[in-house]
Amino acid sequence: MRMTALQDKSFDTLYYYCQHESGLRIYVYPFKGFRSTYAVIGTKFGSVNASFIHNGQNVTVPDGTAHYLEHKLFESEEGDAFTQYARTGAAANAYTSFDTTCYLFSCTERFDESLGILFDLIQSPYFTPETVAKEQGIIGQEIKMYDDSPDWRVTMNLLQAMYQNHPINKDIAGTVETIAEITPEILYECYNSYYNLHNMVLCVAGKADPEEVLAIADQKLKPNEPVQTESLFPEEPYEVGQTYIEQALPVSMPMMALGFKEQAGKEYASDKDLVCTSILLEAFAGSASPLYRELLDSKLINSTFGTEYMEGLGYRAVIFEGETTDPEKLAEVLKEAVRRLHKDGISEEAFDNARRCLYGRMARSRDIPSSVATNMINGAFLGRDPFAASVMLQTVTAADVNERLKQQLDPDNCTLSVIKEIEGLIET
């Protein structure tokens, strides 16, 4: 077999890896007893990668180009990919995030044909001035949808206010103005820079045979010459840009996002740091925490409340988010609780409960092919063991978490983003 068996230490099972002759890195995680398969192929090209060096040349592309390119690849010359997948019975999709673009499908039958469609899709760029222009209406509509979405706006406004220079402060889809500048040449430039198979990863999980995946790759993939593409990021100071930002939107209850900015460098956070942060947030404000119950009983939050850790090259932040009757008050209560947390640390009991909840969540996600494949592809992009976290979870201590806390949740370096009701209107 041309694939190397790797061990998922946490659950004592094997998965498989090889770099295919074409350049593509391939991971296959077979699930015994499963009937369905999930496959995802992606490249580390998202909205933040708008400036890069390709073959020694500096390139800057309009905001929203990565997302635009995803749309144009998904719609092929032979009609769109949805229609092709409908013939094989697969369910397909694609998404662009801040730092990746991924194309995926799930199926129970005719896996070989669906994987063939996926390979064709990412290998057949076809952009003309007409086809590029035609997409502007559809993406413009999508941008408008996001512009109107309070959930999305509260987060994007937060990032915009927190980050002074880093392109994480810009919308993934760009704006109607920036996408108007996109040309076939720009799309080809990005395609050639980032969609080279040496920059891409395929992950398959569920009912899967590594040999079958390789056979289809052999048949479908055209060998690529490696290219050098390096993304460029501006320097970002530690301090938040603004401490407050608000927008009025047609909502029936105000929303808030409170973001604590953290020092971020040119590297990704370590596995240990990520695990400690997860435990910290679960213990501090998870749905079984005393703080959560207290906020719920006082009606300052409802079930939309949640926490998130955002992290990538040059950005790291903890975000608390949700609907609230009183954004300012909720922010104050949270900051006060953070100050107490810095003084008292988290208790052994809260640590144990949080670790158990997180372990349960991680273990359950191992039964979901899409979770495992997503985890593998993100690990591959970051050069990280995708299954290290659940092992790490067993070895960290409450002291590690309290140590990690020192770098996080600085109540003097945070931003409050508020979505207000449009004034004087929302009376039910």
Shortest separation between residue 6's beta carbon and a second copy, angstroms: 18
Kindly state whether residue 359 participates in binding a second copy, applying the rule CB under 8 A. Answer: yes
Q: Which stretch binds a second copy (CB under 8 A): 59-67, 195-203, 265-273, 360-368?
A: 360-368
Active-site residue, 70 included: yes
Which tokens belong to 105? 């499908």
Kindly state whether residue 227 participates in binding a second copy, applying the rule CB under 8 A. Answer: no
Which among 273, 366, 361, 268 is positioned nearest to 10, based on CA atoms? 366
Sheet of strand 315-323: strand arrangement: 244-249, 414-421, 255-261, 315-323, 306-312
Instruction: Tell me which residue has tokens 């991680």.
Output: 362
Kindly state whether residue 174 participates in binding a second copy, applying the rule CB under 8 A. Answer: no
Kindly state whether residue 9 participates in binding a second copy, applying the rule CB under 8 A. Answer: no
Q: Which is nearer to a second copy, 53 or 296 (CB)?
A: 296
Instruction: Kindly write out the interface string for residues 272-311 of this chain, putting x where it contacts a second copy by CB under 8 A and - elsewhere.
Output: ---------------xx----x--x--x--x---------
Kindly state whether residue 428 participates in binding a second copy, applying the rule CB under 8 A. Answer: yes
Contacts (CB under 8 A) with a second copy, residues 381-410: none
Cα 100 to the center of its chain, rounded Å: 7
Q: How many CB atoms sit inside 10 A of residue 333's CB?
A: 18
Instruction: Kindly write out the interface string for residues 62-101 of this chain, putting x where it contacts a second copy by CB under 8 A and - elsewhere.
Output: ------------------x-xx-xxxxxxx----------
Point out the catalytic residue in the list 21, 70, 177, 225. 70
200-206 and 79-80 as β-strands: parallel, antiparallel, unpaired?
unpaired
Of 216, 253, 382, 391, the residue at the interface with a second copy (CB under 8 A) is 253
361: Cβ–Cβ under 8 A, 6 or more apart, which residues? none
Total number of residues binding a second copy (CB under 8 A)?
A: 59
- C-alpha 423/C-alpha 200 separation (Å) is 48
Of 9, 11, 177, 329, the residue at the interface with a second copy (CB under 8 A) is 11
266: Cβ–Cβ under 8 A, 6 or more apart, which residues? 233, 313, 314
9: Cβ–Cβ under 8 A, 6 or more apart, which residues? 387, 388, 391
Q: How many CB atoms sit inside 10 A of residue 30's CB?
A: 18
Please give the full DSSP string across 177-197, using - where no structure is assigned. Answer: HHHHT--HHHHHHHHHHH-SG
Kindly state whether residue 35 participates in binding a second copy, applying the rule CB under 8 A. Answer: yes
Chain contacts with a second copy (rule: CB under 8 A)? 11, 31-36, 80, 82-83, 85-91, 106-109, 137-138, 141-142, 145, 147-149, 206, 249-253, 287-288, 293, 296, 299, 302, 323, 353, 356-357, 359-361, 363-364, 366-369, 421-422, 425-426, 428
Active site residues: 70
